[in-house]
Structure 1
């Protein structure tokens, strides 16, 4: 009995370490006479969890030092804001915009922000965002042009089977087993439908640059017909037929997105044209004739 009791007796030690739910818990005993205010347990993440964030950023191609460089610029806000602004479509424009806006936030908190710097950098940030949006839209339009030439019959059967099994795998799990296998044609139609929805959204978004009255929208429904009445458009738009016809056609055929034309520049240009056509009040060669 004594041998068995000694066998199951706990061995004394200064510390003990346990692993629970990915955490290493170390309990350290106090020395004789030592104050009990000393913390008796310390927690440390296991190696797998401590490396989680590093693994994620490593997969993105960003190292720890590069992360800090993106968030913190060693220069003073004055030096950063005094730097020349790169073109809005430059690769590093987005990063520099973020750094500049952070500097402005810090200056605003200290009450040191200049109204001129604030206005200039906000306008620049808007230009960068607009450039990014136009670039992404252009890529979608290019994809649409490529997909418009796709003919399912011209694609080998092996490729069609691979596309069907790869891109409809998750959806296939929810389908009944007796249903027909998805075909390549259905994938093409789904992609084209997605592009159509995005295109309609892009067209609606572009209308933010120029507000269309309801009467103008009604007249413009027939803009691509021989029976289109430009005089009705001029009356509905309040003598701005040229502006609305110009903007509508550029938007309808995606020329603004394709050539990355700023919407504000389009509106300013066509308004200047209207002023020029109305300058001498010519009853024939006027903005209605131009429209």
Structure 2
């Protein structure tokens, strides 16, 4: 009955899209969350949505309010706004497929804003409630549709994923090749997995109180000290001066991690980590055993594999980027010392033991790693499991043993949360959670105290995908490294007669096209959102990211103008 009402009401206005979103999100919710169709009698049709009594009562009250309210009482959808400086250069354009598709420009514009189908449909319903002369009966029907769509936006596994990455959508980015779209869909969405909706956290106030008790008191002074630096190994005075000169620039967005790699003779990870632990005065504040930490950092660095991309140089790059967010961008003002310590350690270990093969490969090949972790965040679980197992079972590197049990337990919990948050399939889930938290807390540090885990996960994940926003030379270097790692995987998949993963075929993948899609769909929306909390990110990082996007678009245009068969 709900679907029939929605189709009859919305169809004549050219927005059957809203019903399509409702039906598809409903099917996903029934399949993923076990929501059964209502048993209102023998006439109940399959596929109808069943809401818990409490939610149904909430909807009923909303319908009563809609009946009694003036015709224009429904709130209007937010008007999409451009970012400072005119927004992203070359914003996504859409091309229609030959299949039936919505023809409403309002819908197309919302899709280009990276909204999910359910979010688009909810905005459409809101617009209709505001603009159309409706009867009371029609207003009730449309209000009900809008309420259900809003509920799906909050609860459904795929509701937060942009429509452009949902396979059944008819719109595509004009300048992003299909292989890149498949890559983004398979690596940054849970489209291939069945996941249950998050349950409501219980005892929230108790948990908040326990976490607050573990935090060190925030002071008005800086959390950093600036003297007494040393290194976790012996070097000559000349080398010490060179390394110190490089480390002096560690707060800058254009920091050169490859220069540090050369200066430290491939010991860049332990060097940067040691430097930041001293700089934030964490050895003193947590009475860390320097000998054990020195041995631990050396051990962690050796655990990284010699792969083209996921190696300890990448870990150092992520660690330095985290420091930029903490220092220059001001994220440290939202965190206590124990959070900063956990964040630094999570960046250090976040890809420990990565073998250069992504979760899709491990799952398809049914590797020992995939079987052990039941296909769930395979690499990420492996990273944290490996390092904590080794640390806790080796007294020489077990710096946790010197800490109070409550502190060590909390640090381990936060590190696990952050590293699991680097699973790219959780990207849109965490981004939506961060946006929701920012909408509630704004730039008030005290309001973020109850949501510090959301901020920690977002900082590490944003650093992990930051390469396209770095200075162009470094962005190109990292793009080449990650593609080479993908190509090695693709070659292996061919040898094993597995389906070649998106962007892993060295014969068909074009670097510029991969970067355009990655920036537009993943990186730019992320940095824009983080920049709302940390304005320096928008000022420095987004500006450089948009310049890089323009470069990649120019490269693609030049390639398309070359005669067929011409050499590069």
* TM-score, normalising length: structure 1: 0.30
Structure with the larger RCO, 1 or 2 (CA within 8 Å, 6+ apart): 2
The structure with the greater share of residues assigned to strand is: 1
Structure (1 or 2) with the larger CA radius of gyration: 1
* TM-score, normalising length: structure 2: 0.16
